[in-house]
Structure 1
Amino acid sequence: MAISWHIGVDYQDAGCVKIMTDAAYDPVNTLDSERFKFLYNSKYQTMRPAGRDTQPYLGAAEVFTPAGSDVNSFAKYHRSFVGNNGQLFYRSSFFTNLEYSVPLYEVKQKDQANTVYYGARVTRSFMGFNNRAAYWTTPAYLEVGWLVSFTSTSFASNFSMSFGVGSLFDTSQFGQTCKEIVVWNLPGNNSPIANPPLAPVDGQVQVQITPNFCRASKPGYDARTATPGQLYFDSSAKSSKVVAAADIALPAGTTVYPLGDIGAGAVGNLFADVIVYQGATVYYPTNPLSSETEYGADYYFSGANLVLSNPYGAARARFVVYAQDDSSPVGGTNDVWREFNDGTRDVVQFLRPGASNPPRLADVMVDSRWPMVQIIAEGYIDVTAQADGAREWSIPIDTTGLFPFVKYVTVHGGGSNINLGGFSGTIAARVRPPFTLFGYVDPTETGKQYYTGGGSTYCRLTASEARFYTFRGLPTRKYLSGGSSTSNLVTESDPTPIVGIRYYILGIPA
């Protein structure tokens, strides 16, 4: 068939699995450095989900998971005793496949129906005396973070947890009444990636195929004895597939993007990372905010379509759509690998042994229509204070033939009796999803004074560089309290200033 793929040793005498972007490329002798030629290469570092969970706002309720647990033993804790906001906690033990104490993660804000995502929007909020102050930001501004050694001090029944997520429901902001937590098996602090690919070792087995399982290990690890973190794919493990990646114009109104032939199993098992930006350069999570402008889009899935709803002016959207089905295996007669034509192109799949025919999404480990996400750059940036708050950090990258994307979190220090928005406590550190905040305060003597919030960060992504911007040391918000004079000006500071950025630059074959 007109697709080039290989199981076995390559030019480095390393056991591997490779699928090429073009049948003209030789999977055995093509250099690994030519990344754009590979749809899949088991010698590359990639990313795997450790868990995903959705929690709706339950109103004035206190609910512990698992049933029968309490503040000392919960895995998940929903707490609210007021009309429109509440708290949500996950201990790290909730995500049973998690390999890191502090991981890369996201919190995605959704509507009450658990359908529409709000995370790709910049909206305005007023505050202070006579609403003479306002700020523009993204929903992640309200997130508390992944907490390290947290002890609550504001609840009637206080509790502690070594590691886990703290999040807030605030149904007056962004319409968010449902939270989706996505955790990846990658570090979210300055810890190195565990079990990196190593030099091949003579005599090791990299690929194992039996009637009961199919798995491939990273170079330098033997598939027969490898731990889950040392495997690239494993028929017994959960996996996610990139079923779409694109950068599209986003005019005002509704834009429908067909995801193509993703199979019936993928529908209903989709989630996405979406960046909405203005201009010709990609910025995440937002463009540098410098004017009184709301922009962005909500998005949702309708069958095999990604639908973006833009109530503002024209912009662009860059997105990656994942499909994940965690259901158990079912019996069938499919071989471990399957070759066919889907009507438009030739396809090769690697399946769970004995998968159903046709296979479900959960049975598909690798599909040549759905390329792997390559990590083309990763690292940690130490962020120190600057007199004016503004600093830049340049990371050179090579995205030749690849569709680049960025994911990062910000790392913060800790302290005692820290007010975290809806509650307080003592923490050793916390890790937050990135946000950008821009605002003004309007005293009668001076008129509007604009500022960038001290907790703001963003990344400018080009074909050759990821450039990060931080503003540590600047006030996080400003407002007027009790009057409109400059004498009533209140400035807030970050109780846990940013100390680092943990970043991942991803590449998907274009």
Structure 2
Amino acid sequence: MIGIDNLGHSCVKITKGNIDPVTEPDGNTASFLYNSKVAADVKLAVTDSTPFQTGSRYLPSGSNVNNYQKVLQAPSAGSAAVKDIGVRNSFYGDAIPYSLPMFDIKTRRLSDGKYIEQNRVRREGREGYGGAEPGYYETFDRGQSVWWENRPDTTSNTGDVIGALGNGLLYQGNSYATGDADQLEKEIVIWRLPADNTPILDGAPKAPIAGQWSAQFSKDFCRVAKPGYDVRTASQTQLAFDSSGRPLSAIGAADINLPAGVTRYDLGFAVTPNMLADLFLYVDDVITFPMSRFNRSLVAEYWFSGNSIYFDNKQSSACRCRFVVFANDRAPLTSGDNNFLRQFTSGGERVMQLLRPGSGNPPAFRDIVLDSRWPCLQILAEDYKPIAAQANRTPPSGTNSGQSFTVDFKGDGFFPIVKYMTVHHHEEFGKCVKFPQTRITESYNGSARYHQANSSYCQLTDNQATFWTFNGNPYNERYAENRWKFDYVPDPIIGIRYYILGIPQN
């Protein structure tokens, strides 16, 4: 429905099956594939994959160490080394309303177009007395992508100072070496959600106000305000949607077995090579985010072709994969004479789309504001939880087996996933956020396995999510001065900002 519901509120609603969107109570959240009356909504703010191959280290052109918005430590000629990139919040203008937003970084191998960020492997540490050595299971970027609240002078991995970053993201950039078969492309995905204890802007429900304009549909606009705001003056966080702030919908989501080798999953819709997806690998039927808590390698590359997503489980044993493919990609916007409304029949099903006015036929994914076939993500639970400090522990006899907290939510009628960020305080550089890591150490004498201090994970059931942290444990074991020594993180976890997200199931 586009219009007035039985409460007299102007809104846009899409319901499952034969449920009447006019009369269905808003509290029956699982009935709705979309409801513009939801105040705390889920959107992406930015996707940025622009290669940094400029002749200058600083952007925009003409900027310098003091006033840049984006900075690169350029690779040496012929080098395959990955270099640091710093991006200030100001680079994205007003698209990011939060100082510390929730973010992901997608890593794609250019030679074959496969995404490779789902990668945890074992490495061995340096040998000590008698050949003893620790082992480490660490995920792909090993926690080196960090969004800082106010980062002072930044030293790149080549030792050069590239200037104070301030409020922004510091991450390992692309690899551009000529002839390198594993050149990598990084894509930053920034969610319009806070990653620290900042409340969701305009996330509290408001009552509609008589006389306000709730919607504008024309050749120039396709936008609807949240209740209590006028669409003509509403800010980006006060709009339920517009053609640039689209609800985040899913074209496919499932929980499947991944045997060793290649697995194909039919999404039922034509896809492009650069779709956005989230994958979570786990074992033993315990749904775990961001990756299984056990000490084993997990490597699954993925890519898109035709109507399908493909997975390549590089390990010799099976694991499980919970995944979501979003109705979003990097294909350019189209141009044409489509107005805001498109209706057609596909596979015997009547389909309604709300479009960016002026899009082409057919529209690109980024032209589609809403599609009646694609459920939009909803927030089932969200909050910030402080994490207490712990005394440093000394392996192998003294390790922190973990602290936990549990969140209850109503998951009936939803396919749930977990998104969360770990919040840290660096002893030198202050507050920052990271996407979660599962990092496990096998102690040098083989008698202990433990999670490192900045490791975390969340275990999910149909109506509960339990988060675990391990402050106080070391991140490194080394033999020096005729004894084993332990290194501790300079930026322990001080909090977790979590979102339990639900995809309505038909």
Question: In 2 relative to 1, CA 230–131 (structure 1 residues): closer, same or farther, beyond 3 Å?
Answer: farther
- Aligned residue for 2:375? 371
Q: Which moved more, 1:267-276 or 1:336-345?
A: 336-345
Matches within 5 A, 1:421-500: 427-443=429-445, 447-481=446-480, 487-500=482-495
Is 1:177 matched with 2:184?
yes
- In 1, the alpha carbon distance for the partners of 2:143 and 2:185 equals 13
- In 1, the alpha carbon distance for the partners of 2:329 and 2:186 equals 18
CA contact (8 A) 2:419 2:499 kept: yes
Question: In 2 relative to 1, CA 87–131 (structure 1 residues): closer, same or farther, beyond 3 Å?
Answer: farther
CA contact (8 A) 2:73 2:162 kept: no
Question: In 2 relative to 1, CA 71–352 (structure 1 residues): closer, same or farther, beyond 3 Å?
Answer: same
- Aligned residue for 2:256? 248
- How much has 1:199 moved relative to structure 2? 2.1
Superposed CA offset, 1:398-455 (max 9, x none): 1111110111110001332xxxxxxxxxx22110110011112325xxx544322111
CA contact (8 A) 2:288 2:457 kept: yes
Q: Which amino acid aligns with 2:314?
A: P
Please, what TM-score do these two structures have when normalized by structure 1? Answer: 0.87
Aligned CA RMSD, in angstroms, stands at 2.5
- Aligned residue for 2:118? 120
Is 1:341 matched with 2:339?
no
- Aligned residue for 1:298? 301
2:83 pairs, out of 79, 86, 100, with 86
Question: In 2 relative to 1, CA 205–469 (structure 1 residues): closer, same or farther, beyond 3 Å?
Answer: same
Is 1:70 matched with 2:77?
no
- In 1, the alpha carbon distance for the partners of 2:467 and 2:454 equals 13
- In 1, the alpha carbon distance for the partners of 2:356 and 2:114 equals 33
- In 1, the alpha carbon distance for the partners of 2:172 and 2:363 equals 39
Superposed CA offset, 1:208-250 (max 9, x none): 2223212111111111211121112113546654221111111
- In 2, the alpha carbon distance for the partners of 1:58 and 1:489 equals 44
- In 2, the alpha carbon distance for the partners of 1:77 and 1:135 equals 32
Superposed CA offset, 1:30-70 (max 9, x none): 111212211111112322111112266979x9733333333
Q: Is there any run of 5+ residues in structure 2 with no aligned partner, and where?
A: 176-181, 392-399
Could you say what secondary structure the match of 1:413 adopts?
A: strand
CA contact (8 A) 1:389 1:472 kept: no
CA contact (8 A) 1:382 1:499 kept: yes
- How much has 1:140 moved relative to structure 2? 4.3
- Aligned residue for 1:231? 239
Please, what TM-score do these two structures have when normalized by structure 2? Answer: 0.87
- Aligned residue for 2:195? 188
Superposed CA offset, 1:253-308 (max 9, x none): 0011122124xxx524411111111122210112222x4x2124111222432111
CA contact (8 A) 1:109 1:176 kept: no
Could you say what secondary structure the match of 2:30 adopts?
A: helix
Is 1:205 matched with 2:203?
no
- Aligned residue for 2:285? 280
- In 2, the alpha carbon distance for the partners of 1:403 and 1:55 equals 33
- Aligned residue for 2:25? 31
Question: In 2 relative to 1, CA 122–360 (structure 1 residues): closer, same or farther, beyond 3 Å?
Answer: closer
Amino-acid identity (%): 35
Q: Which moved more, 1:187-196 or 1:37-46?
A: 37-46
- In 1, the alpha carbon distance for the partners of 2:21 and 2:85 equals 48
- In 1, the alpha carbon distance for the partners of 2:365 and 2:475 equals 45
Q: Which amino acid aligns with 1:183?
A: I
Q: Which moved more, 1:101-110 or 1:350-359?
A: 350-359
Q: Which amino acid aligns with 2:240?
A: Y
Q: Which moved more, 1:183-192 or 1:73-82?
A: 73-82
Q: Is there any run of 5+ residues in structure 1 with no aligned partner, and where?
A: 1-5, 417-426
CA contact (8 A) 1:109 1:177 kept: yes
- In 2, the alpha carbon distance for the partners of 1:144 and 1:183 equals 13
- How much has 1:338 moved relative to structure 2? 2.6
How many residues are matched? 477
Could you say what secondary structure the match of 2:450 adopts?
A: strand
Superposed CA offset, 1:164-222 (max 9, x none): 11113598xxx683322111111111000001232222232222222321211111111
